[in-house]
């Protein structure tokens, strides 16, 4: 069996890549270990930026006939207060979408499987086979088969997902588990704001709620730390004690019913900065290469940006067995992909840091609550519609400065709530050591959160050089 391209894993990345690359007419094999519809809690909210990428590739139909629910913005709730922030208006009427991941993925797979030049094989890939330090073939084991088979390909695209077996061969992975999401499905439940995502923060672990069908909504509750929570005898009671009272009132009964039903699903949340290695004949795509915290629902938006980028670069290759030409296309993809994904990545892990810092999450809430560009531009970045890293940085630090100013203002008000004199400000600042530490820490904490994220997204010297030759601004 000989193909131009072999795709390992038909998840969101691999199945979409097959559809996009098939447009070049090349012969593509897709090897996926399980082609039946999956029941998972991952990838159920697609941000408008991801919808736009699908639209640009001509794949808007992937969102059809799966009871997908349009999502128009977010309801952000802090300690019971709420603000409603719509996605920014675009030229085209763009919303996000909530859906069951399994149904969405089956749509993508169904499309790719009907293409003449795409062959799907239901099998587990067990090995990437190399010759002269070049990946030339893959070995795989079909379901219920006794012996392994192999197929040859000019390029192997490895998209075997978050628990990738092959990423170590193709990158320097520094994977870190930041916590786990516990997923519950609320049935026949009205949300505080229908067709909106809900981010709920306070003195409890943060959680998100969004519609996934016309009759069901997903709740994802964060459990910080490397160890997953234990589903012991007290677990249901623990969930009720910790979350029932802080659930928005209209969903409380559904939440209690979902907890009693107890179909809990747990998934680890990773942070994995992309660190690809040059390996002839192979390339990494999707969560196998790069992961960010799912709090902001940015994963699939990043995946579609990558699929588009890699397919565009590969479309210039006429012969996939020309290792040099394929290698050049792959290096261009690795060098430019951060331009499409860095803001999504930085915001995801940045906001995750913010929601666990009481002063910063209050600052974030009030900053976005100011409306106008503070809300619009922040939401455009969250939506994956604005990918300007400098703008993200401006708002991140602006939020911390605003929070600091608000704290100072609050502290220098007299007991009766009336502002006091400059003298009073000085004495408040002098005597209120706690205040001084708290307000300073707001900016310091924001910098401590965002700096490592900025550094891991920074292109290295070789990449910058390549971008220069491509005449692209590395930012
Ligand atoms: C808890 C959680 C919630 C999330 N929520 C969102 C969200 O709301 N919105 C969003 O945009 N993103 C979300 N994400 C991220 C998103 O799900 C991923 O970015 C996206 O699914 C990545 O696609 P992928 O194709 O790389 O991986 P997957 O979709 O996981 O696909 C990998 C595929 O590879 C196959 N495979 C693995 N090993 C082999 C093998 N050896 N041989 C053959 N096949 C193999 C698997 O069966 C699977 O089909 C979430 C992530 C998590 C952890």
What pLDDT sits at residue 396? Answer: 97
| Ligand 1 atom closest to residue 47's alpha carbon, by position in its atom list | 11
In sequence order, the 6+-apart residues with CB closer than 8 A to the CB of 53 are 301, 304, 305, 307, 308
- Closest residue by Cα to residue 123 from 144, 105, 109: 144
Q: Candidates 7, 11, 178: which one to mutate for ligand 1, based on the most atoms within 8 Å of Cβ?
A: 11
Rounded-to-integer distance, Cα 279 and Cα 395, Å: 38
What pLDDT sits at residue 340? Answer: 95
What pLDDT sits at residue 461? Answer: 78
| Ligand 1 atom closest to residue 9's alpha carbon, by position in its atom list | 34
What pLDDT sits at residue 96? Answer: 97
Q: Answer yes or no: are the C-beta atoms of 82 and 192 closer than 8 Å.
A: yes
Q: How far is the CA of 46 from the centre of ligand 1 (A)?
A: 13
Q: How far is the CA of 347 from the centre of ligand 1 (A)?
A: 20
**pLDDT 10s digits, 70-84:** 999 999 999 999 999
- CA separation, residue 381 to residues 52, 121, 301, 399, 470 (Å): 14, 38, 12, 14, 25
Q: How far is the CA of 307 from the centre of ligand 1 (A)?
A: 14
* Residue matched to tokens 């666990």: 356
What pLDDT sits at residue 66? Answer: 98
Q: Candidates 41, 162, 283, 341: which one to mutate for ligand 1, based on the most atoms within 8 Å of Cβ?
A: 162
Q: Any residues with Cβ below 6 Å from ligand 1, and which?
A: 8-14, 31-34, 41-46, 124-125, 159-162, 165, 181, 267, 269, 286-288, 294, 297-301, 303
| Ligand 1 atom closest to residue 285's alpha carbon, by position in its atom list | 26
Rounded-to-integer distance, Cα 41 and Cα 164, Å: 18
Q: How far is the CA of 160 from the centre of ligand 1 (A)?
A: 8
Residues of the chain with pLDDT below 70 are 91, 413-440
Rounded-to-integer distance, Cα 110 and Cα 66, Å: 13
- Closest residue by Cα to residue 269 from 205, 211, 208, 226: 226
Q: Candidates 43, 51, 208: which one to mutate for ligand 1, based on the most atoms within 8 Å of Cβ?
A: 43
| Ligand 1 atom closest to residue 300's alpha carbon, by position in its atom list | 11
- CA separation, residue 40 to residues 267, 294, 298, 339, 400 (Å): 9, 14, 17, 29, 36
- CA separation, residue 426 to residues 341, 400, 408, 423, 437 (Å): 45, 21, 11, 5, 15
**CB burial of residue 317 (10 Å; 0-12, 13-18, 19+):** buried
Rounded-to-integer distance, Cα 324 and Cα 336, Å: 18
Q: How far is the CA of 143 from the centre of ligand 1 (A)?
A: 21
**Residue of the CA atom closest to atom 49 of ligand 1:** 11
What pLDDT sits at residue 15? Answer: 98
| Ligand 1 atom closest to residue 50's alpha carbon, by position in its atom list | 11
Q: How far is the CA of 456 from the centre of ligand 1 (A)?
A: 22
What pLDDT sits at residue 467? Answer: 79
Rounded-to-integer distance, Cα 96 and Cα 73, Å: 8
> Phi and psi dihedrals of 86, rounded to 5?
-75, 155
What pLDDT sits at residue 420? Answer: 46
What pLDDT sits at residue 93? Answer: 72
**Residue of the CA atom closest to atom 48 of ligand 1:** 11
What pLDDT sits at residue 91? Answer: 66
């Amino acid at each position: 069996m000989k193909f131009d391209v072999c795709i390992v894993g038909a998840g969101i990345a691999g199945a979409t890549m097959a559809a996009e690359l098939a447009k070049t007419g090349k012969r593509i094999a897709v090897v996926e270990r399980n082609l039946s519809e999956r029941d998972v809690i991952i990838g159920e909210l697609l941000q408008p930026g991801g919808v736009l990428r699908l639209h640009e590739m001509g794949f808007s139909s992937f969102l059809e006939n799966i009871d997908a629910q349009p999502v128009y913005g977010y309801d952000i709730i802090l300690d019971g207060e709420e603000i409603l922030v719509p996605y920014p208006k675009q030229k085209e009427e763009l919303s996000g979408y909530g859906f069951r991941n399994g149904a969405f993925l089956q749509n993508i797979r169904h499309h790719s499987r009907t293409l003449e030049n795409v062959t799907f094989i239901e099998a587990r890939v067990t090995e990437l086979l190399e010759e002269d330090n070049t990946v030339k073939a893959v070995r795989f084991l079909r379901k219920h088969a006794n012996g392994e088979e192999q197929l040859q390909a000019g390029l192997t695209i490895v998209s075997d997902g978050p628990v990738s077996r092959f990423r170590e061969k193709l990158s320097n992975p520094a994977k870190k588990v930041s916590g786990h999401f516990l997923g519950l499905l609320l049935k026949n439940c009205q949300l505080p704001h229908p067709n909106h995502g809900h981010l709920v923060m306070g003195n409890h672990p943060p959680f998100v709620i969004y519609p996934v069908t016309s009759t069901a909504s997903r709740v994802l509750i964060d459990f910080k730390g490397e160890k997953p929570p234990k589903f012991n005898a007290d677990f249901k009671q623990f969930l009720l004690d910790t979350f029932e009272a802080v659930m928005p009132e209209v969903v409380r009964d559904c939440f209690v019913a979902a907890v009693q039903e107890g179909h809990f699903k747990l998934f680890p949340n990773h942070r994995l900065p992309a660190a690809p290695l040059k390996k002839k004949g192979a390339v990494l795509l999707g969560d196998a290469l790069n992961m960010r915290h799912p709090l902001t629902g940015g994963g699939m938006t990043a995946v579609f940006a990558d699929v588009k980028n890699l397919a565009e670069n590969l479309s210039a290759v006429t012969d996939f067995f020309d290792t040099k030409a394929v290698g050049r296309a792959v290096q261009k993809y690795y060098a430019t992909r951060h331009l499409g994904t860095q803001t999504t990545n930085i915001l995801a892990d940045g906001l995750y840091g913010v929601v666990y810092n009481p002063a910063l999450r209050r600052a974030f809430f009030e900053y976005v609550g100011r409306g106008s560009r503070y809300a619009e531009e922040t939401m455009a970045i969250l939506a994956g519609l604005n990918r300007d890293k400098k703008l993200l940085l401006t708002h991140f630090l602006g939020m911390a400065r605003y929070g600091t100013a608000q704290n100072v203002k609050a502290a220098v008000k007299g007991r009766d709530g009336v502002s006091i004199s400059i003298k009073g400000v000085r004495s408040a600042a002098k005597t209120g050591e706690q205040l001084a530490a708290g307000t300073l820490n707001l900016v310091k904490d924001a910098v401590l959160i965002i700096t490592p994220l900025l550094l891991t997204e920074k292109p290295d010297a070789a990449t910058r050089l390549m971008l220069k030759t491509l005449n692209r601004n590395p930012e």
